[in-house]
Structure 1
Amino acid sequence: MTAPVTLALTAGEPAGIGPELCLMLAREARDTGLVVVACEALLAERARRLGLDVTLHPWQPGEPARCEPGHLSVWPVAGCVSRAAGKPDPANSRYVLATLETAARACLDGVLDGMVTGPVHKGVINEAGVAFSGHTEFLQALCGVERVVMMLATDELRVALVTTHLPLREVADAITPERLGQVARILDRDLRAWFGLEQPRILVAGLNPHAGEGGHLGREEIEVIEPTLARLRQEGLSLTGPLPADTLFTPHWLEQADAVLAMYHDQGLPVLKYQGFGRAVNVTLGLPIVRTSVDHGTALDLAGTGTADAGSLHTAIRVAGHMARCRRRAGEVGA
């Protein structure tokens, strides 16, 4: 009998809503095994504050995760020195990073099948003197990969990015044939491996208004994007574009696609978040492990109130479980 998929779930910033979102999962039975990687005392204290009846079970590798209502398996991580809701403390920064490293190494070692990350506060971590630009870059370095791709997804739409957190004036120079080629290949490969798509259909946005309008509104499409897409098509990738971004996100085009490749952050993500904020998931492609995340921040103003919405976390867990199962099936076929 095939063992069930079991995921690591990091609780994120201790002062934010991450710990209570983890606890809310215990309200009902789960068909995917979850191990919360966090300070056990933090979870217990937040449960008492919110009046949640949750029994925490310290977990060790090799044990099954508790999936019945009212119970959570916890991989205890020490070092959380301040547990006050809504009041972040830079002294907790190394603890937060320790939860990420613990979860990621468990996935790399095959102990767990993937990881889902709760929201962290990058500013607080940097205040502690620790260089940290985000989950994605941290996991990229830990896993030793050259390029990763950010993709946000809902049930209806997937949007991947060629560039991510760059000032707008730097975007055009960052879109090189090498970068565009790497990102498109990773997107195609991981849609096949992690999502079970035999021939992913990818729509590619142009950089400029009207996709450059034949060079009258910019030449990046002519000089970089179109030649790169032509070479990639010769490799077998199914790519349509470059298309004007203002008409790409319409039913006519989206009905023909499995994913959209946008050139920069605010070209693609506003559309996706308008379409599905609160039920979207952030997926890191290009890693050797499954990693998804919620699509929101720490919401310090909501922490400890019991009013946080766990919708995005439920989606992140469901997508990570699907990815892990696809990977497992692919491994069984290739064995």
Structure 2
Amino acid sequence: MDTKYKVRLGISIGDTNGIGPEVIVKTFSDQRVLNYCTPVIYAAPGVLNRIRKALSAEHFFYQPVNSADVLVPRKINLVTCWDGDLEITPGTPTPESGKASLDSLMAACRDLKAGKLDGLITAPINKDNIQADEFNFPGHTEFLTSYFDAPESLMLLVSGDLRVATVTGHMPVRDVASKLTPELLIRKITILLESLRKDFGILKPRIAVLGLNPHAGEEGLLGSEEIEIIRPAIMQMKERGHLVFGPFPADGFFGMQQYKQVDAVLAMYHDQGLIPFKTLAFESGVNYTAGLPIVRTSPDHGTAYDIAAKHIANETSFREALFLACDIVKMRKEEQMPAV
């Protein structure tokens, strides 16, 4: 692969009343980012101009383009997704900000599916006000899995060598146990193994699987899911020659820093994995959707309405999402190159 190739990254604006536009402008105020990618922001000039003025971001410049067909190298490209001024009410989700976030996301996804982009970074949305005929999903992960026709995907949080995935995603805790099956765990472990190899270049990945119940069920005393569901899945993966271990009690596993001994951790549900991950790597963490035919990353935080327009949002997670997307795109392209 040409080492001078600049990854074409689409960027959806997220909820315009949250901190998405702010972290985007802060990230791209550092022109050195353009050494790694050709960014394409899907929004409208008014949103970016307001943030640029409020932040006095004198080094943030963008180039309006009609479409992703005519990108300008070494420039921040802007594809306009709606006409007219959008009313901004920082800290308050509105139907208008929800529609803007959807318009931005759909435009970026269309271009990504058409091959005009190499990857996608999604700024945080409000999962309620974005709901529409085109988006009837609990979050980005589920929408993108459907839009790009993937059989299944996996939420994978990444910060350096710390990687935490979840078997189940955005669902009530009361429903988690009933959703777990050995077959589901095997599919999720398989996606994780493949992503670690293909996207992160780890030839023989080591995966730790957490239990569902306290103390990983205490041999059935505190629950039978470990015995009936999780262990059988782990044993099948071991029989196939994979380095999969567990189930581990979640509290002790993170408390004793055992995550440092493996390449990834598979949690059973959202908060079981994301609470320790964000405790360890909140500002630098990245949400990556494994298992898709495309590359999508996002910062690991939400809309943060409470600090919107206070101009104190930390852009580190968004910047890390950008770098991770670039790395994975290049890793995949190198893997596809014919051997010399």
1:236 aligns to 2:238 (yes or no): no
SS at match of 2:297: strand
TM-score (norm 2): 0.90
Q: 2:26 aligns with which of 24, 27, 35?
A: 24
The residue that corresponds to 2:221 in the other structure is 216
* Distance (whole Å) between structure 1 residues aligned to residue 327 and residue 198 of structure 2: 11
Deviation at 1:150, TM superposition (A): 0.8
Deviation at 1:128, TM superposition (A): 10
Runs ≥4 residues deviating over 6 A: 127-130
Residues 90-109 of structure 1 deviation map (CA, whole Å, 9 limit, x = unaligned)? 03433322221222232233
Q: 1:186 aligns with which of 188, 191, 199?
A: 191
Deviation at 1:314, TM superposition (A): 0.9
Deviation at 1:261, TM superposition (A): 0.3
Could you tell me the percent identity over the aligned residues?
37
Q: 1:106 aligns with which of 100, 106, 111?
A: 111
1:76 aligns to 2:83 (yes or no): no
Deviation at 1:326, TM superposition (A): 0.8
In structure 2, runs of 5+ residues without a counterpart are: none
* Distance (whole Å) between structure 1 residues aligned to residue 255 and residue 93 of structure 2: 41
Counterpart contact for 2:19–2:313, Cα < 8 Å: yes
Residue identity in the other structure for 1:215: G
Change (3 A) 1:129 1:291: closer
Deviation at 1:149, TM superposition (A): 0.8
* Distance (whole Å) between structure 2 residues aligned to residue 52 and residue 122 of structure 1: 29
Change (3 A) 1:201 1:130: closer
The residue that corresponds to 1:291 in the other structure is 296
* Distance (whole Å) between structure 1 residues aligned to residue 132 and residue 103 of structure 2: 17
The residue that corresponds to 1:306 in the other structure is 311
Counterpart contact for 1:36–1:75, Cα < 8 Å: yes
* Distance (whole Å) between structure 1 residues aligned to residue 248 and residue 273 of structure 2: 13
Change (3 A) 1:328 1:134: same
Change (3 A) 1:127 1:76: closer
* Distance (whole Å) between structure 2 residues aligned to residue 312 and residue 223 of structure 1: 38
Residue identity in the other structure for 1:182: R
Residues 304-323 of structure 1 deviation map (CA, whole Å, 9 limit, x = unaligned)? 33221101101111111111
Q: 2:50 aligns with which of 22, 45, 64?
A: 45
Deviation at 1:4, TM superposition (A): 1.8
SS at match of 1:214: coil
Alignment of 1:55-74 (within 5 A): 55-59=61-65, 60-67=67-74, 72-74=76-78
Counterpart contact for 1:176–1:224, Cα < 8 Å: yes
Deviation at 1:251, TM superposition (A): 5.3
* Distance (whole Å) between structure 1 residues aligned to residue 180 and residue 117 of structure 2: 35
Change (3 A) 1:244 1:58: same
Alignment of 1:124-203 (within 5 A): 124-126=129-131, 131-203=136-208
Query: Number of residue pairs matched?
Result: 332
Tell me whether 25-34 or 256-265 shows the greater mean CA deviation.
Answer: 25-34
Change (3 A) 1:303 1:334: farther
SS at match of 1:125: coil
Counterpart contact for 1:196–1:326, Cα < 8 Å: yes
Tell me whether 293-302 or 85-94 shows the greater mean CA deviation.
Answer: 85-94
Residues 269-323 of structure 1 deviation map (CA, whole Å, 9 limit, x = unaligned)? 1111111112111111111111111111112232233221101101111111111
Deviation at 1:330, TM superposition (A): 0.7
Change (3 A) 1:171 1:321: same
Tell me whether 80-89 or 47-56 shows the greater mean CA deviation.
Answer: 80-89
SS at match of 1:123: coil
Deviation at 1:7, TM superposition (A): 1.1
Tell me whether 182-191 or 248-257 shows the greater mean CA deviation.
Answer: 248-257
Residue identity in the other structure for 2:68: P
Deviation at 1:333, TM superposition (A): 4.2
Deviation at 1:228, TM superposition (A): 1.3
SS at match of 1:301: helix
* Distance (whole Å) between structure 1 residues aligned to residue 8 and residue 96 of structure 2: 30
Counterpart contact for 1:37–1:75, Cα < 8 Å: yes
1:121 aligns to 2:126 (yes or no): yes
Residue identity in the other structure for 1:55: F
